[in-house]
């Protein structure tokens, strides 16, 4: 990039001031303009099921005139969401920095048509999400839900759980989150299997005992006591876990999804639980968020639901800012950015 001042629109509302950003603006020809824009969970969920396009079921946030003026001159934006019609809102945009690992709710096709480089925030929350997986997994294995219920009812009855040690965990998707899950599984003494889109001799990972290609997904899940879905959302992974696949899992196994709701055919999962084929299901994501009150998922046997909250904010914002600062410097220097989203 040339020496002109780069304008970065901060659409993601930061909770505090960051010295890293102040220093970035002092050391480089960068100006950051704060123009908050956050969509509702309902709208974000709709977009995620429609390739990032708003199908019109929920209204978008109103954009004030001041933000529209600022956006006209932005070279880059940092955001959780992308408003519709980005071509007219951001005519000078060259780079979109997302603040989440998932980008199914972003209209990547529109950005590609504009010639915009799209980067995501892969890796900034992997540790907290993997901790959440094991918090829930141990809750299931140790029957903590039942123990807590007995306490609330003042029942003193011994309830022994099972252990993670010696069990086999199969991870679908060995990206940053999948690998952090693998590391923690290894620490618990589990055998770690993983499905990776492009396994190779260079793809060996000391945290994983065996890596399978996608074509051998059914083989892997049939060997696993726990299956964790951690793959990105795309056409290849949409409805990946349906009735056929759930019933290919080992009887009494546990299914966990901390990726995207679109991966799962929810009625099929409910059937696998209610028929006692699966021991439990741990879901931090659903196809529609919030989950409709009439969904059978609420009452399915041994369902462990959470409202898309596996991320912890202890270090999330700081990690996002660190990534932004690194990519901003690369952007100014005309170098390749981190976490570039592939174009399809």
Q: Token digits for 106?
A: 């972003």
Q: At the fourth CATH level, which superfamily is domain 126-305?
A: NAD(P)-binding Rossmann-like Domain (3.40.50.720)
Separation between Cα atoms, residue 18 and residue 320, nearest integer Å: 11
pLDDT tens figures, 288-329: 999 999 999 999 999 999 999 999 988 999 999 999 999 999
Is residue 226 within 8 Å of 253, Cβ to Cβ? yes
- pLDDT of amino acid 199: 77
Compute the average pLDDT of residues 48-75.
Answer: 97
pTM of the model: 0.93
Separation between Cα atoms, residue 330 and residue 327, nearest integer Å: 5
pLDDT band at 204 (very low <50, low <70, confident <90, very high): low
pLDDT tens figures, 206-234: 899 999 999 999 999 999 999 999 999 99
Q: Token digits for 67?
A: 């933000």
Is residue 191 within 8 Å of 132, Cβ to Cβ? no
- pLDDT of amino acid 205: 81
- pLDDT of amino acid 4: 80
- Whether the pLDDT of residue 1 is over 50: the answer is no
Beta bridge partners of 303: 281
- Whether the pLDDT of residue 23 is over 50: the answer is yes
Domain ranges of the chain: 6-123+313-332, 126-305
End-to-end CA distance of the chain: 26
- pLDDT of amino acid 201: 47
Beta bridge partners of 264: 241
Separation between Cα atoms, residue 32 and residue 324, nearest integer Å: 11
Separation between Cα atoms, residue 271 and residue 269, nearest integer Å: 5
Instruction: Give the CA distances from residue 183 to residues 126, 130, 215, 314, in Å, rounded to whole numbers and listed in that order.
Output: 11, 9, 24, 20
pLDDT band at 283 (very low <50, low <70, confident <90, very high): very high
- pLDDT of amino acid 3: 60
Instruction: Give the CA distances from residue 216 to residues 210, 247, 248, 251, in Å, rounded to whole numbers and listed in that order.
Output: 12, 16, 12, 19
Percent share of the chain, pLDDT over 70: 97
Instruction: Give the CA distances from residue 225 to residues 45, 55, 79, 137, in Å, rounded to whole numbers and listed in that order.
Output: 30, 39, 38, 11
**CB neighbours of residue 156 within 10 Å:** 6
pLDDT band at 203 (very low <50, low <70, confident <90, very high): low
Exposed, middle or buried, 218 (CB in 10 Å: 0-12/13-18/19+)?
A: middle
Same fold, 6-123+313-332 and 126-305: yes
Q: Token digits for 227?
A: 């299956």
Output the CATH code of domain 6-123+313-332. Answer: 3.40.50.720
Is residue 82 within 8 Å of 143, Cβ to Cβ? no
pLDDT tens figures, 239-259: 999 999 999 999 999 999 999
Across the chain, mean pLDDT equals 96
């Amino acid at each position: 990039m040339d020496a002109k001042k780069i304008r970065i629109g901060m659409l993601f509302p930061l909770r505090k001031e960051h010295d890293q950003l102040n220093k970035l603006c002092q050391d480089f020809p960068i100006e950051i303009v704060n123009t908050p824009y956050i969509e509702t969970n309902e709208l974000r969920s709709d977009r995620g099921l429609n390739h990032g396009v708003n199908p019109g079921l929920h209204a978008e946030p109103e954009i004030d005139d001041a933000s529209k003026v600022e956006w006209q001159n932005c070279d880059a934006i940092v955001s959780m969401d992308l408003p519709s019609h980005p071509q007219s809102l951001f005519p000078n945009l060259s780079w979109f920095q997302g603040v989440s690992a998932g980008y199914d709710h972003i209209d990547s096709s529109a950005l590609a048509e504009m010639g915009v480089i799209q980067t995501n925030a892969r890796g900034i929350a992997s540790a907290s999400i993997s901790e959440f997986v094991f918090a829930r997994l141990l809750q299931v294995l140790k029957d903590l839900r039942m123990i807590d219920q007995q306490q609330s009812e003042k029942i003193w009855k011994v309830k022994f759980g099972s252990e993670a040690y010696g069990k086999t965990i199969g991870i679908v998707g060995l990206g940053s989150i999948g690998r952090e899950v693998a590391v923690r599984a290894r620490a618990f003494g589990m055998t770690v299997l993983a499905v990776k889109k492009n396994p190779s001799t260079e793809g060996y990972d000391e945290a994983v005992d065996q890596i399978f290609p996608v074509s051998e997904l059914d083989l892997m899940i049939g060997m696993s006591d726990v299956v964790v879905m951690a793959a990105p959302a795309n056409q290849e992974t949409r409805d990946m876990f349906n009735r056929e696949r759930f019933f290919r899992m080992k009887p009494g196994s546990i299914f966990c999804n901390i990726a995207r709701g679109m991966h799962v055919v929810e009625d099929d999962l409910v059937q696998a639980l209610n028929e006692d084929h699966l021991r439990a299901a741990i879901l931090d994501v659903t196809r529609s968020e919030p989950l409709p009150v009439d969904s059978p998922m609420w009452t399915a046997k041994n369902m462990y639901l959470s409202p898309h909250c596996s991320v912890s904010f202890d270090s999330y914002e700081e990690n996002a800012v660190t990534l932004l600062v690194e990519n901003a410097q690369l952007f100014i220097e005309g170098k390749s950015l981190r976490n570039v989203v592939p174009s399809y």
